[in-house]
Amino acid sequence: MSFVAIDFETADRSLDSACAVALVRVENWQITQRNYWLIRPPREKFRFTYLHGISWEKVADQPTFQELWPSVLEFMGDASFLAAHNADFDRSVLHACCRAAQIPLPRMRFRCTAKLARRVLKIYPTNLPAVCARLGIPLDHHDARSDAEACARIMIAARRRTHRELPIRVRPDPMTRIVQREFPGW
């Protein structure tokens, strides 16, 4: 079993404005690789520098999403799924960036660690700082590297607490028509 935890930071409210992405690869429930890239978004205006500390000056000479995509795709490799905290956001950013760059959408399923925390671990509230505090996971919130690693560690903690492999159900995703695998309770 392998998966990749992913976290995007965006420059503005538009989902195609990714300015950073972090990926953490987990194989056999152990973190094996980490990677982080700054991304030059399509616009120079940054609205969220106060959250993540990334500004246009830091990304002006960085690759665009389209230029970076082959490296991201290679890192994802043959992972079974992508994990993200509040996965709808990261999935939407990924899809918006792919559409803007005219790149085919990746055929990777997403698992949401916020839902996992609520339904399997019974943690409330399920925002990333609260879940990390309950599980004793270090977090520098809104640093994509820290958020992606925390997401990976939440998945690992959930598996350890359930003491078993989580069975998988299959269902079609109505938005992408891609088959999604669901773990019970997610």
- At residue 164, the pLDDT reads 56
Average pLDDT over residues 33-41: 98
SS3 127: coil
What percentage of the chain has pLDDT greater than the value 70?
87
Closest CA to 128 of 14, 9, 27: 9
Report the DSSP pairing between strands 2-10 and 18-27. antiparallel
- At residue 166, the pLDDT reads 46
Helix (H) or strand (E) holding 107: none
Tell me how far apart the alpha carbons of residues 80 and 82 are, in angstroms, rounded to a whole number: 7
Better pLDDT: 103 or 163: 103
Q: What are 56-104's pLDDT values in tens digits?
A: 999 999 999 999 999 999 999 999 999 999 999 999 999 999 999 999 9
Q: What are 117-156's pLDDT values in tens digits?
A: 999 999 999 999 999 999 999 999 999 999 999 999 999 9
Paired tokens of 83: 């994990």
Query: Quick check: 147 and 139 in contact, CB under 8 A?
Result: yes
Phi, psi of 111 (to 5 degrees): -120, 140
26-31 LR contacts (CB < 8 Å, sep 24+) = 26/2, 26/152, 26/155, 26/156, 27/1, 27/2, 28/1, 28/2, 29/1, 29/156, 29/159, 29/160, 30/156, 31/149, 31/152, 31/153, 31/156
10 Å Cβ neighbour count for 42?
A: 16
How far are the Cα atoms of 27, 113, 116 from residue 31, in angstroms, in the given order? 6, 16, 19
Q: For residue 159, is pLDDT > 50?
A: yes
Say what the pTM is: 0.88
Q: Rg of the chain over CA atoms, in angstroms?
A: 16
